[in-house]
Amino acid sequence: MKYQILVDSASDLLSDYIKDENIGFKVIPLTINVNDKEYVDNDELNVEEMLKDMHASKKNSSACPAPESFLQEFDNAEYTFIVTITSKLSGCYNAACVAKQSYSKPENIHVIDSKQVSGTEILLVDKLVELIKQNLSFEEIKKAIDEYRDKKSLYFILQKFDNLVNNGRMSRIAGLIASTLVIRPICIAHEGEIKMAKKIIGIKNAFAKLVQMIVEKAKDFSKETLIITHCLAEDEAKIIKSDIEKKCNFKEIRILPMRGLCSYYALEKGVIVCH
């Protein structure tokens, strides 16, 4: 096989996402540790069970895959693309880079720091498939995917920030503001890190403001896909989708449930929007 795509489970993708005999695909799972129990972020993970155990525990953490998890896949194709969660929030990117440098042909491996998470990783995977099918060279695909990555935007609205704060992914001051009953912050990914963009009163107002922020980005979205991922918040995701459809001409808007790692940080009712 000439090309394969590896992506970490922070993408919220399942193992059968790409079904193409000419393109290899695999999701490399992260793990979530709750007390002494390890949850592997794979297709079999029960997110609701994990969250229930986590709320009853005082000792929770997440862990990125070891370099060997990537390295052992490289011989399955001539060229490998790896898409990871932002390097500012996880060690996945570094693990993939270590694997690349440990391989006999590192020049045939390209590691892509998504600088974001979830839906942005999905969009990068989709773009890689598109570029591969255009019969471009490996070097041409590398250049095109990096340029595409730098144009992506991510927004999220969470209703709980406990794990982001407790695991050092968000400052305690920002977490305190975010945890109030009235304020619903809209956060964005900025240079790979979490930044609070707006502080809005009320969840409905926050949803409306998020849509407004997307509308202000461009006039024409007809060639773009927007992805909404959610943690046990399908109704909220549908509200956001409906509002965006009324105001923007996206080629496609998809709603997907979060898997383990994103649910661990977003918690119940968390929503991430990427385009």
Residue 202 CA: distances (Å) to CA of 86, 233, 247: 29, 16, 21
Handedness of CA 175, 181, 185, 187 (dihedral sign): positive
pLDDT for 59: 85
List the pLDDT tens digit at each of the 275 positions of the chain.
899 999 999 999 999 999 998 999 999 999 999 988 999 999 999 999 999 999 998 888 999 999 999 999 999 999 999 999 999 989 999 999 999 999 999 999 999 999 999 999 999 999 999 999 999 999 999 999 999 999 999 999 887 766 565 655 555 545 555 555 566 778 888 887 778 788 787 888 999 999 999 999 888 999 999 999 999 999 999 999 999 999 999 999 999 999 999 999 889 999 999 99
H or E segment to which residue 273 belongs? strand 271-274
What sign for the dihedral angle of Cα 103, 109, 70, 134? negative
Can you spell out the DSSP letters for 209-232?
A: HHHHHHHTT-S--TT-EEEEEESS
Strands 193-201 and 183-190: antiparallel
91 within 8 A of 60, measured Cβ to Cβ? no
Q: Quick one: CA dihedral 244, 246, 250, 256, positive or negative? A: positive
User: Going by C-beta distance under 8 Å and a sequence separation of 6 or more, which residues neighbour residue 100?
Assistant: 70, 82, 106, 109, 111
- Is-same-fold flag (3-30+65-149; 154-274)? no
Token pair in block for residue 7:
């992506």
pLDDT at 101: 98
pLDDT for the residue numbered 191: 81
Superfamily of the domain at 3-30+65-149: Dihydroxyacetone kinase; domain 1 (3.40.50.10440)
Q: Is 3.30.1180.10 the CATH classification of the domain at 154-274?
A: yes
Q: What is the pLDDT of residue 106?
A: 98
Q: Residue ranges of the domains in the chain?
A: 3-30+65-149, 154-274
